[in-house]
Amino acid sequence: MALSVPCGFLVLDKPAGLTSHACVARVRRAHGLRRVGHGGTLDPAVTGVLPIALGQATRLLPYLCGDKVYRGVVRLGISTSTDDLEGELLAERPLPALDATGIERALDAFRGAILQRPPRVSAVHVGGERAYVRSRRGEVVELPPRPVTIQRLELLGWSPQSAELELSVQCSAGTYIRALARDLGELLGCGAALARLRRTAALGFQLEQAVALEDLPAPLLDPLLALAHLPHQPVPEPQWHDWRCGRPVVALRPLAAGSPVAMLGPDGSLAGMALAVAGGLLQPKLVFDAAG
């Protein structure tokens, strides 16, 4: 059962200077599709992995793994209005005596589940508006802290001469590396801002899978690659018609209620998504090639 309309992913190696929205527009033109969406916004200055869903794959975005991996450089001794080098310089302070051991101790405060206050200039909604819109009007926006998880935080290098340190960060969706840089600077007592950032993985996709904008149009990745973290099950042949009509089908193994499952058609391709429900059944939530 082949999908009758496009359904797949592209992984863009986003260049600096473009918004995520602009990248989506480029893909839309290159592939001649209107239904295109991205997973995980990147600031214009940030480069790296930007997953793009095309066609029916846009409906799969809520089911993808939200974790992301970054490699970034933090400059100590400064504070800015945007928590990176793109913003207005607010303060400069001397550095304390630091070595790799002291920096590692400071990083311990940010490993695991933490509360993080998003940058004032961010896409977080405040009173129905994006925070960056209010900031551009000159409003002082104080955003409340939000729970995020930093699964891995590694110090890759420290240069006292440039006052810069390099980090590798694996984190949950909603984590701001700019905010991590700012808070690390506050903890060290000298201020800090994000100098450079590159995303190396997002939503289950890796930098090795990425293509440049100049290489568009490019072959689409199988949507099943994005769902590797979820259980897969073929639709039982006798229940294929029930599936296409949106009726529950039998789960072939025990699953916790609410677990999402990638459902496969007779040819092994993606037939849609289901949720495990009581009674050992799978309730269709997204059906490709639905009957009628």
Active-site annotation, residues: 43
Q: Report the alpha-carbon distance of residue 148 to residue 110 in Å, rounded.
A: 10
Taking the CA atoms of residue 117, residue 120, residue 125 and residue 126 in that order, the dihedral angle to the nearest 10 degrees is 100
Q: Are 266 and 253 in contact (CB under 8 A)?
A: no
